[in-house]
């Protein structure tokens, strides 16, 4: 049986187990109605944004953390370019 990717349900901590590789998927982006979750292997699933505020707050936290990580990585790349 194939899992239905469009019907993933967020766990209480707002993560999902990746159906393709089993790694945890964390929220990376959201819109008014959907949230996009991504695992370390960059598998992505878009699912409906949950109604409850607690989960939405967790989603916002995940997205903020992800943004901070990308920022750090970007600075590292800039430093590596400077060294050449």
Q: Output 38 or 58, the one with its CB closest to Zn ion.
A: 38
Contacts to Zn ion from residues 36-75, by CB under 5 A: 39, 41, 43
Interaction of residue 10 with Zn ion, rule CB under 5 A: no
Of 5-13, 17-25, 28-36, 58-66: span binding Zn ion (CB under 5 A) = 17-25
Q: Output 11 or 74, the one with its CB closest to Zn ion.
A: 11
Interaction of residue 17 with Zn ion, rule CB under 5 A: no
How far is it, in rounded angstroms, from Cα 51 to Cα 47? Answer: 12
How far is it, in rounded angstroms, from Cα 45 to Cα 27? Answer: 9
Number of shown-chain residues binding Zn ion (CB under 5 A) = 6
Which is nearest to 37 in space by CA: 9, 12, 57? 9
**Whole-number Cα distances in Å, 83 to 9, 76, 79:** 45, 11, 7
């Amino acid at each position: 049986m194939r899992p239905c990717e469009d019907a993933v349900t967020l766990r209480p901590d707002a993560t999902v187990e990746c159906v393709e590789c089993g790694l945890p998927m964390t929220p990376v982006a959201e819109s008014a109605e959907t949230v996009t979750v991504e695992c370390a292997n960059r598998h992505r699933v878009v699912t409906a944004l949950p109604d409850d505020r607690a989960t939405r707050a967790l989603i916002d936290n995940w997205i903020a953390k992800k943004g901070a990580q990308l920022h750090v990585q970007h600075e590292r790349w800039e430093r590596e370019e400077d060294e050449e």
